[in-house]
Structure 1
Amino acid sequence: MNSSYIEMSPLAFAIVNVPVSAATLLMNMFFIYCMFSSQDGSENVQKPPLNVLVGSLIGCNLLLNICNLMFVVYYFVDVPIWMIIISSVLIFYAMRTSVTASLGVNVFYYFQIVPVRHPCLICLKTRIKLFMYMMLSFDRIFFLFSFFLSAIRSYLFISVEYLNSSSIPDNITDDSIVWHNLFLTDFSLRCSYFWVCLGIMLASNTATAHYLWRHVKSMEGNSSSALRYRKQKRVTLLSITQTVLFFFSSCWFMADDLIYRFDLAYFDPTGRIVCSVMVIYSFGTTIILGLGQSKFRLRAVDFVKTLVRLSHKVPESK
C-alpha cells in the first residue's frame, strides 16, 4: 500500500537538471575535441585501450545528458509517448553502461601502476586490450534485457500518468506474475553486476593505494620517481572518489527499484528524482575524468591561459 507520496516538480527538475546537464555536455564536447587534437606531446597521447574506455565513457555521458535535456522539455511541450519512452530508457541504458567504462579505467590504471605476479593477473595484463573490448561488448549486450524491460515499464507508467490510460490489457500489466518474475530477474542480475563491479573497484583501488604507500619513500628520493608518484597518487585518489560516487548512486538506484517493486511508498513515479541522481553522477564522473586525464587537464589550462591573454589584449586595441 502507498503510505507516502514523494515527487519532484517539473520546475524543480528543470532548475536542477538543465544547468548540470549543460555543463556536463560542454565538458564532454571539450574532451572530444582534446581526443582528436594532436598538439599534445607523446606522453599525453591516449592509446588503446585507454582511449576506447575514455571515449566510451564520454559517449555515455553525452547520451545521458542529451536525453535528460530532452526529458526536461517533454514536461513543458506535448510530444508523442514514444519519444518520452525512448528518452527515459536511453538515460538508464547510458548510466548503466558508463559504469563498465569507469571500471575499465580503474582496472587499466591498476595494471599500469602495480606490478602483478599472479598468473591470472599476468594473463589479463598481457591481454588487456582484448579483455577491455570483451568487457565493453558484454556490457552493452547484458543491459539490453534491462533496456527492453525499462521501455515496457516506462510505457505502463507514462500511460497512466500522462494519458490516463485504462485500456492496458490484463496480461501485460506490471502486476502479472510473468512481469513480476522478469523484473525480479532483471533486478537480481543488475544488483549482482553492480556489486561485482564495486568489488573489483575496491580491490584495484586498495591494491594500488597499498602499493603506492609502501613505495612512497623510495619514490620521493628521485625527482623523476617523485613526479611519477604524484601522477599515480592523483589517479588513485580520483579512482577512489569514482568508486565512492558509484557506490552511493548504485545504492540509490537499487533502493528506488525496491521501493517500486514492493510498493513501499508512492516514491518518484515519474522518475525525476532518479534522473537527477544520474545527472549528478554523470557530472561527477566528468569532473573526475577531466582531472584524471593529463590530455584534458593540460588543454583546459592552455585554453584558460589563451582566454586570459585575449582579455588583456582587448583594452589595448581600443
Structure 2
Amino acid sequence: MTSYVWLMFYYYIMIVPSQRAIIRWVKKNIKSIIYVMLFGDRLLFLGNAAYEITLTLDSLYSNGTDFFLQDIAIVEFSILSGYVLLCLCVMIFSSFATAHYLSKHMKSLAASDGSLFNPRLLSQIRVTITGILQGVLYLLFGLWYIANMLCYYLPPYVTLSFFIRYTATTLYISITTLNLWVGQTLFRERAVHVWKAVKKHVCTGKEDLRPAEDTLTTAATIQSTGVDTDG
C-alpha cells in the first residue's frame, strides 16, 4: 500500500531542484534513504501480520492474554495510523509539488519558444500525472483504511466484512499496477520480460508439430503447378 509513496518521493527529489542543504543531502543519499524506508515499511506491516496471527490463535485457544493483546492493539493502532498519515502527507506533497514545478517549467519553456516535446520532459509529465492520480487514490484508500482501523479498535468495535476489505484492497492494488504500467517505462519492460520468460518456460518441452516453412512452400508449388521442383 505504501511502497508507491516512496517511489513518488524519489521522483520529487530527482525532478524538483532545490538549494536547501537538507534536500541536497537527501538527493545525494536518496537510494539509501528509500531502501531504509522500504525496509521499515515491510518490517512494520510484518509486525502487524504477526499480531493478527497471535490474535487469531488467542481467540481459538483462550490463553488468557486478552488484556495484554488489548494493550498491544492500542500501540499498534497508534503506530499504523501515524505511519499511514505520514505516508499520506508525503504522497500528496510529493505529487503536487512535482506537478507545480513542471507546470512552471512548461510555462517558461513556452514563453522562451522552447520545445515542449522534449522526451525527458514528456517522461516527467507522464510520471507526474500518474503520480497525481495515485495521490488521489491513496488519499481515498488511506482515509478508508484509517476509518476501518478506528471502527475495529475503538468502541463499538465494528468490523467490516472480509469481502469489502478484500475488494477495496484488490481495487487499490489493480489501479496502482495500471498506474505503474502507464507511468514507468522500466516497469513495462520488466513486465514484458517476465511474460516472455513465463511463456518460454511453459512452452519448453512441447514439440512443435507445425511443418517447416520450406515444406509448406514446396507443397504449395506442387499443388499450383503440378511439378515437383525437387525432382
Distance 2:44 2:163 in 1: 25
Whether the 8 Å CA contact 2:181–2:187 is kept in 1: the answer is yes
The alpha-carbon deviation at position 153 of structure 1 amounts to 2.9
| Partner AA of 1:257 in structure 2 | M
| Partner AA of 1:168 in structure 2 | S
Distance 1:202 1:297 in 2: 25
Aligned to 1:215: 105
1:201 equivalent among 91, 97, 119:
91
Whether the 8 Å CA contact 2:130–2:183 is kept in 1: the answer is yes
- Change in Cα spacing, 1:300 to 1:142, as seen in structure 2 (3 Å) is closer
What is the percentage of aligned positions where both structures have the same residue?
A: 30
2:145 equivalent among 248, 253, 256:
253
Deviates more, 1:146-155 or 1:119-128: 146-155
Distance 2:93 2:126 in 1: 18
Aligned to 2:69: 179
Distance 1:248 1:109 in 2: 22
Residue 21 of structure 2 corresponds to residue 119 of structure 1 = yes
Please provide the CA RMSD for this pair. Answer: 2.7
Aligned to 2:176: 285
Aligned to 1:149: 51
- Change in Cα spacing, 1:265 to 1:129, as seen in structure 2 (3 Å) is closer
Aligned to 1:107: 9
Aligned to 1:81: none
| Partner AA of 1:232 in structure 2 | Q
Deviates more, 1:193-202 or 1:210-219: 210-219
Whether the 8 Å CA contact 1:111–1:125 is kept in 2: the answer is yes
**Residues 225-278 of structure 1 deviation map (CA, whole Å, 9 limit, x = unaligned):** 644333222211111111221122122222222222235365435x22212211
- Change in Cα spacing, 1:134 to 1:265, as seen in structure 2 (3 Å) is closer
Aligned to 2:226: none
Aligned to 1:230: 122
Aligned residue for 2:175, secondary structure, equals helix
The alpha-carbon deviation at position 132 of structure 1 amounts to 1.2
Distance 1:143 1:300 in 2: 26
Distance 1:103 1:244 in 2: 12
- Structure of greater Rg: 2
Whether the 8 Å CA contact 1:253–1:274 is kept in 2: the answer is no
Unaligned runs of 5+ in 1: 1-97, 160-166, 304-316
Paired positions, count = 193
- Change in Cα spacing, 1:265 to 1:185, as seen in structure 2 (3 Å) is closer
- Change in Cα spacing, 1:295 to 1:224, as seen in structure 2 (3 Å) is farther
Normalising to structure 2: TM-score of the pair?
0.73
Normalising to structure 1: TM-score of the pair?
0.54
Distance 1:156 1:275 in 2: 23
Residue 19 of structure 2 corresponds to residue 129 of structure 1 = no
1:268 equivalent among 137, 160, 184:
160
Aligned to 1:192: 82
Distance 2:152 2:188 in 1: 41
2:62 equivalent among 154, 160, 168:
168
Aligned residue for 1:244, secondary structure, equals helix
Equivalent positions of 1:38-117 (< 5 A) are 98-99=1-2, 101-117=3-19
Whether the 8 Å CA contact 2:134–2:176 is kept in 1: the answer is yes
**Greater RCO, CA 8 A, separation 6+:** 1
- Change in Cα spacing, 1:196 to 1:266, as seen in structure 2 (3 Å) is closer
| Partner AA of 2:137 in structure 1 | L
Whether the 8 Å CA contact 2:95–2:128 is kept in 1: the answer is yes
Aligned residue for 2:41, secondary structure, equals helix
